[in-house]
Structure 1
Amino acid sequence: MSRVGQRAAVAGVGGRPKAVGWDKAQQQRRLTLPADLGLRVALGPVSWLWERLSGWQQDRVENAAKAELASLEGVLALPGGALRLLADRLADRLAETGGEALVDKPFGWLIGRGLVRRPSCSDRRCDDGTRLVTGGECENCGNVVHIRRARQAKISAQIQRELPGLDDDERRRVLEERLREQVVIEAEDFVRRHEQARAEKARRDAPACEGCGQQQAGGLCEACGYERRTEALTVEAGLVAAAWAADLADQAAVAAGVRTLLAADIERARRVFLDSAPPGELHADPIGTASALAFGALRAVEEALPEFHRSALGRLARTEEADAEARRAYKTEQGRRCFRPNPNSADAVAAATKAADTARERAAEYLLATRLRQLREQATARAAAAPDVLPELAARDMDSDVAGTVIA
Structure 2
Amino acid sequence: MREELAAVGRLTGSPNATAALADRLRHRLRAEGGGALVTDPVGWLLAKGLPQRRECAHLACDDGIRLDTGTDCTTCEQRLADRRSTRRALAREAVSALPDAATAEQRRTAVDERLHRHAMLRAEQQVADRQWAEQRCAEADTRRAVREAQAAAAEAARQTLPCEDCGTPDMAGLCASCWGMRATRAAIRECVDLALAGSADLGDHRDVNAVATHVRGELRAEMLRARPAGADLSGIRACDLLTVQNAAAEYRASVRSRRAPHRRCRP
TM-score by length of 2: 0.43
Greater C-alpha Rg: 2
